[in-house]
Amino acid sequence: MVRTDHKNLEYLRDAKRLNPRQARWALFFTRFNFTISYRPGSKNVKADALSRIHSPEESTDDPEPIIPEQLFVSPITWSEETLPESSASTNTPPGCPQGLQYIPWTCRIPLIHSSHTSLGTGHPGVNETLSLLKQHFWWLNMTSDIRRYVQGCRECAISKSLRHLPSGKLQPLPVPNRPWSHLGVDFIMDLPVSNSCTCVLVVVDRFSKSCRLIPLPGLPTAMETTELMFNYVFRYYGLPEDIVSDRGSQFTSRV
């Protein structure tokens, strides 16, 4: 018996018309033998004291780790070649926090390399590498040194996942042979008001780089854009062979 406050679930098995997602769930539930019973939400009051799960008293012993020790493959260890000599701690600058070991500049790169490329870390990012080293070590400009090393890591650069869509196959525009045969058009909008105009239609000749600037009171429609092109461009320079624009509604319209 399954009690629910969602009444529509009662008709999941008896419904005659289901969408593909509901049909997949209905087919999945056929392998179980149960009955759905509707119970209004107003009757779903809090459970009484005898029905609640009793939680035992918290023990004062140290909790055991979730992963047993025999499953650790490669714990992070610092080799003697990586760690600085004990005599270097005598030259600790005054800003070193208590409990952390100061690392001189000759030992910083090997230490960053050991913590970043070990099997237990697996080439983490800048923040993870910095958090790992700050547990035991300290030096001036620690963050910038770690960031510079991680950004220059060859393995990280090769295996870094792309966070943007792959670029399309770019096709170069044809080179025009005469003026005003290949045009580029676009709008400049949201300009300061000048003679009641806030928009400019820009038509550029890709051969000579000359342009026609047509002031407009606002963004025109597709028909108005066509009339402007005829009145201010085509009747002076003739019909072009090619027009390049964005996918604005004025240019993608059937007009």
CB 13 within 8 A of CB 25: no
In the three-class reduction of DSSP (H, G, I as helix; E, B as strand; rest coil), residue 70 is classed as helix
CA distance 229 to 234: 6
Q: What is the CATH number of domain 182-252?
A: 3.30.420.10
Which pLDDT score is estimated for 74? Answer: 59
CA distance 105 to 189: 55
Q: Where do the domains of the chain lie?
A: 2-41, 86-158, 182-252
* pLDDT over 90 (residue 83): no
Structure-token pair, residue 222: 């597709």
Single pTM value for the model: 0.38
CA distance 41 to 146: 56
Question: Rg of the Cα trace of the chain?
Answer: 36
CA distance 135 to 222: 64
CA distance 41 to 5: 5
Structure-token pair, residue 181: 């045969």
CA distance 132 to 112: 10
* pLDDT over 80 (residue 52): no
Backbone angles phi, psi at 240, to 5 degrees: -80, 165
Q: Does the domain at residues 86-158 carry the CATH identifier 3.50.50.60?
A: no
| Whole-Å CA distances, 7 to 10, 12, 39, 40 | 6, 10, 8, 8
Burial profile 118-157: b = 16 or more Cβ within 10 angstroms, e = fewer: beeeeeeebebbbebbeeebbbeebeebbbebbeebeebe
Which amino acid, 133?
A: L
pLDDT band at 147 (very low <50, low <70, confident <90, very high): very high
30 DSSP 8-state letter: T
Q: What is the mean pLDDT of the chain?
A: 84
* pLDDT over 60 (residue 133): yes
Over range 45-62, report the average pLDDT. 69
* pLDDT over 70 (residue 90): no
* pLDDT over 80 (residue 59): no
